[in-house]
Structure 1
Amino acid sequence: MKMIKWLMLVAVLTLVLIPVYAFKIEPSFVKVNHMTFEQGTKENQMKVVQVSDIQLSEAYSEKRLDKIVRKVNQEQADILVFTGDLFDNYAQYAPVEEVVAALAAMQATTGKYAVWGNHDYGGGASRIYESVMNQGGFTVLRNSGQTLTMPNGGVLFIGGMDDSLLGNPSSAEVLAYRERYDYSIILTHEPDVADEFIDTDTQLVLAGHSHGGQINIPFIEAPTPPYARKYKKGLYQLSDGTSLYVNSGLGTATIHARFRVPPEISSFTIRF
């Protein structure tokens, strides 16, 4: 009988504590995941840092941006990228001045780049998204790209797709900007469109959108949004060897909780 009471107590505490953890504790974490990619002669090296899906809202306020800025700057990035969804719903929550200041405080020695996410179109955000990112020092790539010569002489192409849900994405337009390069990175908000870059001599695709499922309960598959059904979280090798990384994002949407999917910044050391 004592054992049964003890098990019931543990069960009740678990049911109480897990929601508290999921809604109040884990969303405040910021985990930095480090990866290394090597290709070719490996004579060139750069650091690329990815931030995604901040989705500022009353549940994930601008007060959390200081921690994000601090952790980004600790990585000492050459290239900083943002793969979409700045505000959760711009019409309802939009601390623009604070966001611009935080974006501007994020440092990268060579360049800062962003692409559009579906939330950057919704809620009236399409009127201000590019301006806010530009004021924060980011170049917004919309089916376009740039070729960069890194300090050590390596040539990097970085391209960005328009949002696949509410924009007009075109992988062909992105690739039309690409000429001579040693390493090619493509940014897209929705990860499933990475398949469009198979057999295009693309080395790395960076995406977000899925939030990594946001809530990971063992033996129960989390629902995923459109264009994130195939690639949901973490690192994938596509059929031609192209690497795809799906960042789990920082903020939340719909249910403002995270469980076993902590907010993430990705840091890539790339040798080529």
Structure 2
Amino acid sequence: MKRILKLFLFIIGIYLFLYINNHWIVTTEHVYESEKVPENFDGFRITQVSDLHDAVFGDNQHNLVKEVQNTDPDVIFITGDVIDSNRYDLEQSLDAVRQFVKIAEVYYVIGNHEVATNKVNEIYEALNALGVHVMPNTSVTLKREGQSITVAGIEDPLNGYDTQSMLNQALSSVNRENLTILLAHRPEQFTTYVENNIDLVFSGHAHGGQVRIPGIGGLAAPGQGFFPKYTAGTYEADETVMNVSRGLGNSGFPFRIFNLPEIVIVDLKSKS
């Protein structure tokens, strides 16, 4: 009887551990300070959502939407893989997005899973219809009282174009004196972002390494293999800072371990 009770408690413990690791959303805050941040954008708040992979956080995504709303964002960036190519359900994936647009302006780039569905146009049309700013190798200028910053976005290399050519297209008409923010799904392309003098990059894709080993970091990430370099947090080289979100959902391996789903906040701060 005691063995059965111990086994039962062990199973319950494992279930609770996995449930918390895959459903307890945390918020990570960063500050990006630069002379290129205009005074009128001081305190401008960016909330990043990445790699939802069709995961569900409460009825009608209530828990996720509430967490995003609580960040009080000026803009929301979605950095790819809002859907999962292995269990494609666009309507379910859009439950959260259609609520995000009521909170703040939403800017979006695709990830490899959108490309893998061969339904990129369908996804773009659905997001455009919701009022999302879709960024397929393009850029926009955000203005505040006469001052401006640039937001650019590139698609995923799985669509057949190399990162440099997509950046060339996205940045072709950009005023590089402006703070330039890039939405790009893949963090392993960091060197290319640095070579193009991007100021601030938002990326995802690595799922935090899926399984995080305390004191070491992520175990494996797509495009980087075992013990990947870019899985979570900020990375800096020359004048470029890259923020990598651990993301929210899973693909392939069904569990996140020591790797809570994450929303990222970045507050802009003007040095001047």
Q: How far apart, CA to CA, are the structure 1 residues paired with 2:129 and 2:20?
A: 32
Residue in structure 1 matched with residue 3 of structure 2 by the alignment: none
From 204, 207, 216, the counterpart of 2:203:
207
- Asked if 1:225 is matched to 2:225, the reply is no
Q: Taking structure 1 as the reference length, what is the TM-score of the superposition?
A: 0.83
Letter of the 1:248 counterpart: R
Residue in structure 2 matched with residue 258 of structure 1 by the alignment: 256
From 132, 143, 149, the counterpart of 2:126:
132
Question: What SS class does the counterpart of residue 81 from structure 2 fall into?
Answer: coil
Letter of the 2:139 counterpart: G
Is the CA contact (8 Å cut-off) linking 1:55 and 1:253 kept in structure 2? yes
Shift of 1:49: 0.8
Please give the residue correspondences for 1:26-37 in structure 2 after superposition, counting only pairs within 5 Å. Answer: 26-37=21-32
Shift of 1:65: 1.9
Aligned residues: 258
Letter of the 2:184 counterpart: T
Shift of 1:158: 0.4
CA separation of 1:109 and 1:123: change in aligned 2, threshold 3 A: closer
Shift of 1:62: 7.3
Letter of the 1:243 counterpart: V
Is the CA contact (8 Å cut-off) linking 2:199 and 2:240 kept in structure 1? yes
Letter of the 1:158 counterpart: V
Question: What SS class does the counterpart of residue 171 from structure 2 fall into?
Answer: helix
Is the CA contact (8 Å cut-off) linking 1:76 and 1:108 kept in structure 2? no
Residue in structure 2 matched with residue 160 of structure 1 by the alignment: 153
Shift of 1:108: 7.2
Shift of 1:201: 3.7
Is the CA contact (8 Å cut-off) linking 2:211 and 2:220 kept in structure 1? no
CA separation of 1:187 and 1:251: change in aligned 2, threshold 3 A: same
Deviations 1:73-100 (A, max 9, x none): 122211211000011126x34151x543
Shift of 1:50: 0.4
| Identity of matched residues, % | 25
Q: Taking structure 2 as the reference length, what is the TM-score of the superposition?
A: 0.83
From 61, 70, 78, the counterpart of 2:74:
78
CA separation of 1:87 and 1:199: change in aligned 2, threshold 3 A: closer
Letter of the 1:65 counterpart: Q
From 195, 198, 207, the counterpart of 2:194:
198
CA separation of 1:107 and 1:161: change in aligned 2, threshold 3 A: same
Question: What SS class does the counterpart of residue 252 from structure 1 fall into?
Answer: coil
Residue in structure 1 matched with residue 109 of structure 2 by the alignment: 115
Q: How far apart, CA to CA, are the structure 1 residues paired with 2:122 and 2:232?
A: 29
Question: What SS class does the counterpart of residue 55 from structure 1 fall into?
Answer: coil
Letter of the 2:96 counterpart: A
